[in-house]
Chain A
Amino acid sequence: MKVIIEGVSKEIVMLIPMLIGVAYMTLGERKVLGGMQRRRGPNKVWIEGVGQPIADGIKLMIKEGVKPMRAEGVMYKAGPVVTWMLSMLGWSVVPIGEGEVIVDIEVGIIVWMSIGSLGVYGVIIGGWGSSSQYSIMGGLRSGAQMVSYELGMGVMMICIIIIGGSGNISRIVEVQEGVWNISIMMPVVVMYMGVILAETSRTPFDLPEAEAELVAGYNVEYGGMGFGMYFLAEYGNIILMSVVSSVIMMGGWNSKYMRGELVVGIKSTIIVYVYIWIRGSWCRYRYDQLMRIGWKGVIVYVGGYVIVMGSIMWSIGGVSI
């Protein structure tokens, strides 16, 4: 009983701030994009639009859920739930401070990647369950994109595991006490940024959201809270990806001057800002360009870098124990 209460309370302590973070990330994104386009962004609800995310949430919640007549009932309902659950589940192995993790396991990074890979199912189920040609094609498109960039991500994680000498994320942070992994990964860091953008379906790889030219994507038949769950999952994934990147690449909570959690928060916020900045600056890739970048660019170059980096790590004797 004690274990269950402890686990549930840990989850709640982790997830509620995360959900608030998701809500306010949408506001922050609209404000930053507004600033980049010389307008003010949301500014009517409460003080300078601070209440906007709450208003949006309430609007989505009280909206009637309209199910298309031909949609597969269970699948149609399961799609958003699966996506959202997997997005939340990813937090279970990700530490946000020294020892502040729900489960600290030796294969943490692999478990996190597998949960991320399962996220494809939510998209495919939602796209197929809607029984619409546009949504099923969108689902296939997004699924192919996610699967392609999983591979690049996996090769990056091999680099990280070789550097850290372990799959335990806390251990990887411990090893970064001297230098951050980002300096070792510098030759592939631009590709890393591209991969995490594509994994979370963000600009310039946001084909699932290309409404004008591709009729949006897998979520075209969803409205109300179904859409809301997809939305939450997407932004939750962005925040999760930023936290993981700050932990495995940017030194995590190693700091002499501040509390570890605060350091992780600041670094993650910087990465989230870069996400929004890229969205404000770049246009979308075409689908064939996206596939070419994934298969002929990222995997090949990062695979080559694994060999180079592995040889150098072998010559310096690795980071033992």
Chain B
Amino acid sequence: MSDFGRGPTSGLTGPPKPPPHAAIQDGPPPGGYPPIDVRRNLPKVGPSGSTLLIGVGLITIYGFWGLSRSAQRRRRLNQEKYQIRLAITPYLQAEEDRHTVKQNRRRLRQEKELMKDVPEYQPGESVYKTRKYTPYVKPLIPGVGPQGLP
């Protein structure tokens, strides 16, 4: 009974029969199919690219601005430290000179005491033949050369 309902004895009318010579084919609807939407429908999450770019740029500019400010501050502090050192240099130099004079006197006294048995010895006379005098000056300001003040 596989063809139940299809035969002429079923008493029901089937679909209207096509004319005998027309092609039976699945074609596109009149006017063609609508264009297929091939775009990916991803949800938009987060800020857009241009917003991110501008934001990153602004943060970077802020960073460099802050860094330059702190660098300027640091430079001013260093300058102040340097100037303080420069201001007290005469006092440090005076102490150094006083110390040198005392040291020289003590050295002379000890030399006389030590060489008192040698009659031709002149205490305090330089052992070098050169006439040039070079005082020893400690570098009071670090980084300004071995001669201290220019």
Taking A186-B56, A321-B78 as contacts, is the C-beta distance between A316 and B63 under 8 angstroms? no
Q: 1/0 per residue B3-33: CB within 8 Å of A? A: 0000000000000000000000000000000
Q: Is the CB of A183 within 8 A of B74?
A: no
- B147 contacts the other chain (CB 8 A): no
Q: Is the CB of B75 within 8 A of A317?
A: yes
How many A-B contacts if CB must be within 8 Å? 52
Residues of chain B having any CB pair with chain A under 8 Å: 56, 59-60, 62-64, 66-71, 73-75, 78
Interface magnitude class on chain A: 20 to 34
Q: Is the CB of B60 within 8 A of A184?
A: yes
Taking A183-B66, A184-B64, A312-B64 as contacts, is the C-beta distance between A320 and B71 under 8 angstroms? yes
Q: Is the CB of B67 within 8 A of A179?
A: yes
CB contacts (< 8 Å) of A175 on chain B: these are 67, 70
Q: Is the CB of A183 within 8 A of B70?
A: no
CB contacts (< 8 Å) of B74 on chain A: these are 319-321
Neighbour of A186 across the interface among B59, B67, B70, CB < 8 A: B59
Q: A178-B73, A186-B63 are in contact. List 17 more A-B contacts (CB 8 A).
A: A175-B70, A178-B66, A178-B70, A180-B63, A183-B60, A183-B66, A184-B63, A186-B60, A187-B60, A313-B67, A316-B64, A316-B68, A318-B71, A319-B67, A320-B74, A320-B78, A321-B78
- A177 contacts the other chain (CB 8 A): yes
The majority secondary structure among interface residues of chain B is helix
A sample of 19 cross-chain residue pairs with beta-carbon separation below 8 angstroms, ordered by A number, consists of A175-B67, A178-B69, A179-B62, A179-B66, A179-B67, A183-B60, A183-B63, A184-B64, A185-B63, A186-B56, A186-B59, A186-B60, A187-B56, A316-B68, A317-B68, A319-B67, A319-B74, A321-B74, A321-B78
Chain A residues 284 to 321 lying within 8 A of chain B, measured CB to CB, are 312-313, 316-321
**Closest partner residue, chain A, to B62 (CB atom):** A183
Most chain B CB atoms below 10 A, which of A180, A183, A185: A183
CB contacts (< 8 Å) of A250 on chain B: these are none
